[in-house]
Amino acid sequence: MEFNQFTENVNRLRASNPIWFALDADPIGTKAEISTVENQLNISLPEDYKTFIEAFGGGYFAFTVIYSVTDDSEWNILNKNQSLELLEKHHFLAVSDNQAGDYYGYIIENGLSTKNLFVYDHDDRQVKQTKYQNLFEYLVEVGLKQTV
């Protein structure tokens, strides 16, 4: 799914279901904040993640959460990934979670991310491939409860 199609879905659902977007979200991320996170993690953040953060910010997004580049956020991507240690142990960058112990994100190889989304399954303690070809497909299905 492309970003323009994703944005159209969001705008349509925001108009018909404003309560889905009523929880506090973090402000949109700036290029400077994104660059700071990339430098601190020593990786290039995925393009679809950066596009989302620059347009929508992080934190609560309908029925899910996206980690933020905002320093003092409880959803800060840097703090979340440092505490989870998934980047070091599994080369996995978490950008979202299901509030039940599983994390969604990207495999990182040589500082670059995959395009497809993966999930860290806390029961198996393994990273597994998902059907989502990018963050937008994940957000449509999980965050907006729509079929892709």
For the stretch 105-147, pLDDT in tens is 999 999 999 999 999 999 999 999 999 999 999 999 999 999 8
Buried b (16+ CB within 10 A) or exposed e, 89-111: ebbbbbbbbeeeebbbbbbbeee
Q: Give the mean pLDDT of 64-91.
A: 95
pTM, rounded to two decimals? 0.94
| Strand ranges in 41-91 using DSSP code E only, listed in sequence order | 59-61, 64-66
Closest C-alpha to 49, from 61, 64, 34 = 34
Class of domain 3-143: alpha beta
Q: Which of 6, 140, 26 is nearest to 72 (CA)?
A: 26
